[in-house]
Structure 1
Amino acid sequence: MNPIEHFEHVFEYNELMGVETLHPLVSVIDLSQARMIRRYRHTFGFYALFLKDVKCGNMIYGRQYYDYQEGTIVSIAPGQVAGVEDNGELFQPKGWALVFHPDLIRGTSLGRNMRNYSFFSYEANEALHLSEQEREIVIDCLHKIRTETEHAVDKHTQRLITANIELLLDYCVRFYERQFITRGCVNSDVLIRFERLLDDYFASEKPRTEGLPSVKYCAGQLHLSANYFGDLIKKETGRTAQEHIQSKLIGLAKERIFDARKSVSEVAYELGFKYPQHFSRLFKKATGLTPKEYRKPD
């Protein structure tokens, strides 16, 4: 496997692609106008969003391979590993790239809202697949951003660039929500497997040995990123994945609390709690009663 190359600054990526740096913190690149490059893996010190117009082979994202089809967007946060499998040949990329450094958005509305764009932490197999109309909207936003980078820097530059990036990312949120809906059958399967995973987990010795199941653990078992999994569950059910886990916990606790052979502490330990008082606190928050009050007969 080819080595990982790191690009800390936007101008370094521009140099690789053979394009002029118009702004030190942001760049919009028409990849069809860029130079031919080798396939390789890389990390960035900045955010990157790629819209591909052609199939370009197996993309490497983290430790996984993804057959990167046309009409998809992959969003990459600083520090993530991405790239294309090296076959020893040069290739001409097609599509668009938007890269912007965290320094560009500091103190802006985009900077304050960046955590809302959880798709920057999705896996490549959770890429956004666009309709033709959606693709045109994305490209229009990219053109607006690039137009601002070509304009002489003035007091309006940062605000207009970041506002247009924020608009683009808001469209991506909308398009992902559409994708969640159009993939309803797949999502239902995830929900079923999530419930089965929790049932199997609590029926095993894992709560005693490994503790409470986390959202990250459940996502990993379902071969999804934690952010994508959380967004999918929230969109499908209106509740967070953590709320689902806690609901399962409370349901099991209500059943086991009535086993007079077990103390409240024993129930807490077998459910995965390290400290019984944490179990009691969560139980009372959910039911309005402590475990002992719930167990006590009327």
Structure 2
Amino acid sequence: MPQPRDQRFYQIVDNVSLSRGRHQFKFGGDLFITAPPEGKSALPFVPGGLAVFGPLNFTALTGIPNLPSFTGLETFDPGSRSPVQQAFLLQLATLLPRLAPGFPANQPLDKLSLPSGYTQGFGDPNVVVPAKFFAFFAQDDVRIKPNLLIKAGVRYDLNRSRFVPNNNGNFAPRLAFSFNPIKLPNLRIRGSYGLFYAVPVTGVAVSVNLLSSGRVKVPVIPFPFSILPFALPGHKFPDSFTLPTGTSFVPQFSQITRYEPNLRNSYTQQINFGGTYVLKNQIAFSLDYDFVRGIKLFSTRNINPVVRPVSSTTQSLLNGFSCFYNFSY
């Protein structure tokens, strides 16, 4: 989906190095600010509408035996249907107003596409997510012996992003060494370990705010009501900030996105171990092992509450949609 954005970035970085005997101290800070101007960013949700076509088995949907079934192509293209299917749809058009209250009568179903579902977003998609990312680090490179160097450090990150739950920041220790055996002067052995934290994904914050605040609604219209918007000019509802007349927003048929209240930053544990051997000052042989483990990786979890949005068993069978709820963690 198109996401027009106007972003402004500001960054201040200051790093210092000091040498004191066997020690080389390094420390510094980084402040990174994103300040998008108001009204210059938008995240439209399915603005042109989305229809889903798939096989339809009316015996499975209604429990009535010997009813015809339709392939995905036959639901999409009325010209590909058999005379038996067309006759069934003509009869179904007279029954649907009773089976699905609110469905208009006298619809030429034999000449219409039959999407199993239709969705389209409505509302104001304009939103900005300013953010501030602060980091500070300190490190000491100490030469324990002429052939042994130890590097020990720590980094602190504090991130603040609109709509994203705050935390108290993260400390990330780092440790590394470089060793040159006295009896093997051409060999260098090295290793390192550290934690590395990620910054919040600001794009997700946009969708969380728009959907959870209700500024944008994305109704999912199940079969048979999905037939109606696809039969309109352009196969969609007119673009609007409000729901079309006669269209209701059923939360169980749509999507709501929430953040985990105790959201933590994703991070990785990284280990490196290896060595380099120089042969006759002309050829270098290197062998390294790298280990990376991602922890608390940002993802979404779909939760499907058992809440029937309609009271009619027939309607529940016809809609063919399960309820779902998105949860970011």
TM range (shorter): under 0.3
Give me the TM-score of the superposition, normalised by structure 2.
0.20
- Structure with greater helix share of residues: 1
